[in-house]
Amino acid sequence: MSGNGAVWGRVRSRLRAFPDRLAACGAEAAAYGRCVQASMAPGGRLRKDLCAQEFEALRSCFVAAAKKTLTGGR
């Protein structure tokens, strides 16, 4: 069981790196937030898929960040 310490160490380091990786998605998050906010303005209506393009860009960025975290930044 002593080998588990190395595994948990790698997991912890990946989890610590994840917020930094997600920070790289700031532009995508801001664009999605602006879209949602605009649809919630007076007279606006938030509907399914209204901000789909912005959401997809944000999702793609998150997926790329998660992959970098899992591979150790490679």
Predicted structure pTM score: 0.70
Residue 32, judged by CB atoms within 10 A of its CB (0-12, 13-18, 19+), counts as buried
Tokens 């899992």 correspond to 70
What is the C-alpha separation between 19 and 47, in angstroms, rounded? Answer: 29
pLDDT tens for the chain, residues 1 to 74: 445 677 777 778 777 877 887 888 999 999 999 999 998 888 878 888 999 999 999 999 988 988 876 676 55
What is the C-alpha separation between 40 and 22, in angstroms, rounded? Answer: 25
Q: Which of 70, 36, 61 is nearest to 50 (CA)?
A: 36
Residue type for 68, please? K
